[in-house]
Every structure is written in structure tokens, then in C-alpha cells.
Structure 1
């Protein structure tokens, strides 16, 4: 169960992250209409996709913490370790992003 959750979470996150990079890279500073459309697409389509993938990855990474759990899930090979390393990278990145957003929100609302 956690093997598929980890694999699908990684794939969905990488697809959404790649689409986000392509979308935000194509915005020119002069065209405000395309920038607004790109940000709207990012907020309403890609961020929920990234959040869903992040929840899938984090729940799988948290459950797969011991060697026995990795062996039971069939992840004790190179592909499994690669998926797990990518899952940890995504999890740590999401926590860091949430901390930065929280810090910015608190620092801008504190008067």
C-alpha cells in the first residue's frame, strides 16, 4: 500500500512541479494578462495537485521508517531506495516551504 502511495505521490509531484516551472518560466514581465492567468492556473490547478502528492508522499515516508517495513513493502532495492530518497526530499521541501510561508505571514501581519 505504501509502495504505490510513495510511487504515485512522487510521480504526481514531479509532474506538477515540472508544469509549474514551465508555466512560471514562460511569464514575461510586460504581459500582465498572461501573468494573471498563469498565477490563477497555478493556484487553482497545480497547487492542489502538488498538495495531494505531498500528502501521499509524506504519509508513505512517515510509515516506511524501518528496514523491516521497507522489506515488507518490497522497497529494499535500488528503485525503492531512490523512491524513498525522493520522498524524503519532497517531504523536507514541503516542510521548509510551509515554515517560510508561515514566517512571512506572521512577519507581515504583526504590527
Structure 2
């Protein structure tokens, strides 16, 4: 019985240590006016101020045009860790809204990207 208790205790401590080592990121959101309505961007920033993730809600945009462009822009921002990304031809207004909202969210987080 003592051996089982020791094993349970060891596993519990290991689980707590593992969970405690997880990333502590904080999410920030901002919205800008797109072609069809609001475009909201959420950025996740690590406790060290590093950009970890970029997500977009462009559901008010035309799915095959602005929606697709918004996804392309956030992917480019996340990969390059920069706001200096190309806009998508034919969806310039949406592209610029995504870049602006991402910049505003990053500014709120205190993170500067070029």
C-alpha cells in the first residue's frame, strides 16, 4: 500500500510540474473596418513579448475574397513576425483592415513589429 501511495504521489507531482511549465501567453484583440464590416484580429503573445499566434474573424467579409485574403494575411504576419506584408490583390480593404487590427492588438500588448 505504501508503494502505491508513493507512485501516485510521484505521478501527481510530475503532472503538476508538467502543467506548470506550459506557455503563459496572453491574448489581445482589436477590430478594424473591412470591406463588408468589422474584421477582428486576436494575437497571442508570450510572457517574453514574442508573437505566438495570430487569428482573424473576417466573417463579415465575402468568404472567397475577403475571408480568404484575411486568412492569407494573418498567416503571413505569423510566419514573418512582421506587419510589413503584402496585401491581397482584389481584397485590399480587407487586407489593410487585418494589418491595422493586428497592429492595434500588438500595440495593446506592448509588442512592436516592423
Using the size of structure 2 for normalisation, the TM-score is: 0.28
Task: Say which structure, 1 or 2, has more relative contact order (CA 8 Å, 6+ apart).
Answer: 1
Using the size of structure 1 for normalisation, the TM-score is: 0.28
